[in-house]
Structure 1
Amino acid sequence: MFAARPQPMTYRLVASLLEYPDAPLIEAVHELRAMVRSERAFGAEARGKLERFLDYLDSRDLLALQENYVALFDRGRATSLHLFEHVHGESRDRGQAMIDLVQTYEKHGMLLQPGQLPDYLPVFLEYLSILETSEARALLGETVAILQSITQELSRRNSHYAYVTGALLPLAGAGGTDLPEAAHDDDAGKPHDKEHLRALDAAWADEPVQFMGAERPAAVPSLAPVAFHPRRASR
C-alpha cells in the first residue's frame, strides 16, 4: 500500500503544508520541495501533486494565500481542519473531547502552544510524528472518513489543498479519490450553491463518523460558521 513506511518527518511535512501560510512557510518552499521529492512514503503521483501545491504557494503573494486559506477553511464545516467539527459539530461533547485529546497529547510529552486547538489537523499530525509507526498509522486510519470528506469537498472546489489532504489517504489505509486536474484556489472559497448545500446536509446525516472513541451526532448540519483559529488572531 505504501511506497515506504511513513516516518515522523512524513507527518510533519504534511502538517507544515496545511498550516496557515506565513512568511517562514513561503521562505521554506524550496526546502519543502526537496523533502517532497525524497519522501518515499508517498507514491510518485502524490509527490507530483504535492509539488503542484508548492508551485501554488510559490506563485501567489502572501496576502492572497492567506485570504484563500481563510475563505477555504474557516467559513464552513465541510472543509474544516478541526477534526472534531466533523464529529461533534458545535455540541458540548466537543469540549470534553478536546480535553481528552489534550490529556492524550500530554501523556506523550506533547504540550500545545498558547492558542493551539488539539483537534486541528496539523497539530494532530505533529502528534502522530512522535508515535511508533504502527500506532501512528492506526490512529490516522481512524480519521479516514473525515479525510475523505474534506478531500472530496476541496476537490469539488478545485483547491490545491486537495493534493495535500489527498496525500494522507493512502497513509491512512484508504484508496485515492479524484483530485482536481486544474486547481484554482482563487475561486475555491466562493459560496456554495443551495443544491450542493442540501446534498452536503443529506450526506452528513447518513452515517455517524467515529474518531478516537467519539461519535458524531447523526443530524449535525454539514456547514455552519466557525470561529477563526485562535493562532491567527494576531496576524
Structure 2
Amino acid sequence: MAKTFKVLSLLLTYPEAELQEAAGEMKQILASEKLVPANCLEGLTRLLDEIAEGDLYDLQERYVLLFDRSRSLSLHLFEHIHGESRDRGQAMVDLAEHYERHGLVLSARELPDFLPLFLEFLATRPLPEALELLEQPLDVVAALAERLRKRKSDYAWVLLALEGISRGKPSQAVLDELLAAPDDDPEDLEALDRAWEDQPVTFGPGAPGAGGVSPGGGCPAVRDTLARMDRPADTKPL
C-alpha cells in the first residue's frame, strides 16, 4: 500500500486549514516512497508550498474556479466519458459496489467516480493492484493534466505525477477526442450555464447505450476505454 496515492488525493480536494498544516508531512511521504518521478516531485513540492503558505480563501477560490466551475476540469472521471447519459449512473453503481467489496463504504454524498476518492481507494490496495487500476482512467487523467498545464496551474503536477507513476500510456486517439471537447472559461458565467444545462434523455436505437450502440459513439478507442472502466469487478477490477 502506498501513502503517495493518499497525498495526491488530498492535493485534489478542497483546501482546508488541515491540508495546510499537513503539507510538510505530505512532502516527506512523497520523498520517502519515491513513486513520483523527480521532475514531478519538484512541481508537487512547489504546489505544497503554495498551499502551506498561501491565504486559505485565495486557495479555495482558485480551487473552485478550476474544478467546480470548469466542466472540462471536472474531477468526476465518468463525466468525461459518459457525460450525463444513463450509462454513467450504472458505471457509478458498479464502481461503488467494487469499493464496498474491498471495505470502502461511501457516504450518501460521495460519488464514486470522484478522482480524489478513487486515489484514496488506491492507497488501500497493494501497490501492484493499485498500479493496474490506475491505468484504467489514464486517458482522462492525461486530458486533465494537459488542460491544467495550458492554464499554467501547478495542479497539473498532480495529474502528471499519476501519469508518471502508472505503468501504462494513455491512448492518443482517446486523448485527442477528450481534448477536442470545449474547454470552458470559468469566468464566462453564461457559457457555464449553457454547458451545465440538462441534456435530454432519448430512447430508441439512436440513444447512447441503447439498441446495441456503444457509449462513446463510433470511436473504437473510446469504446475500449469504456469497456475497461465498466467491466464487472468480479472479472477485472473497475
TM superposition score category, shorter chain reference = 0.7 to 0.9
Unaligned runs of 5+ in 1: 1-6, 177-187, 195-203, 216-235
Deviation at 1:66, TM superposition (A): 1.0
Aligned-partner Cα distance in 1 for 2:29–2:115: 20
**Which deviates more, 95-104 or 32-41?**
32-41
Is 1:161 the equivalent of 2:155? yes
Specify which of 88, 94, 99 is matched with residue 100 of structure 1: 94
Identity among equivalent positions (%) equals 40
The one-letter code of the counterpart of 2:98 is: T
Specify which of 24, 28, 36 is matched with residue 30 of structure 2: 36
Is 1:88 the equivalent of 2:82? yes
Determine which structure has more spread, i.e. the larger CA radius of gyration: 2
Is 1:9 the equivalent of 2:23? no
Deviations 1:35-62 (A, max 9, x none): 2332311122121111011122123211
The one-letter code of the counterpart of 2:42 is: G
**TM-align CA RMSD:** 2.5
- The 5 Å alignment of 1:21-60 reads 21-60=15-54
Which residue of the partner structure matches residue 229 of structure 2? Answer: 213
Deviation at 1:189, TM superposition (A): 5.1
Say whether the 8 Å CA contact 1:78–1:149 is kept in structure 2.
Answer: no
Q: Give SS of 1:213's match.
A: helix
Is 1:138 the equivalent of 2:132? yes
Aligned-partner Cα distance in 2 for 1:189–1:52: 24
Work out the number of aligned pairs and report it.
188
Which residue of the partner structure matches residue 197 of structure 2? Answer: none
Q: Give SS of 2:77's match.
A: coil
Which residue of the partner structure matches residue 3 of structure 1? Answer: none
Specify which of 142, 145, 158 is matched with residue 148 of structure 1: 142
The one-letter code of the counterpart of 1:77 is: R
* Aligned CA distance change for structure 1 residues 114 and 27 (closer, same or farther; 3 Å): farther
* Aligned CA distance change for structure 1 residues 133 and 113 (closer, same or farther; 3 Å): same
Deviation at 1:77, TM superposition (A): 2.7
Deviations 1:132-189 (A, max 9, x none): 222211110011111100000000111110011111002222569xxxxxxxxxxx95
Which residue of the partner structure matches residue 4 of structure 1? Answer: none
Aligned-partner Cα distance in 2 for 1:149–1:130: 25
Q: Give SS of 2:89's match.
A: helix
Say whether the 8 Å CA contact 1:143–1:172 is kept in structure 2.
Answer: no
* Aligned CA distance change for structure 1 residues 53 and 191 (closer, same or farther; 3 Å): farther
Deviations 1:71-107 (A, max 9, x none): 1011233211100011101112111111111100011
Say whether the 8 Å CA contact 2:95–2:113 is kept in structure 1.
Answer: yes
Say whether the 8 Å CA contact 1:87–1:214 is kept in structure 2.
Answer: no
* Aligned CA distance change for structure 1 residues 153 and 163 (closer, same or farther; 3 Å): same
Unaligned runs of 5+ in 2: 171-184, 192-215, 232-238
Say whether the 8 Å CA contact 1:42–1:167 is kept in structure 2.
Answer: yes
Say whether the 8 Å CA contact 1:88–1:94 is kept in structure 2.
Answer: yes
TM-score norm. by structure 1 comes to: 0.72
Aligned-partner Cα distance in 2 for 1:53–1:213: 30
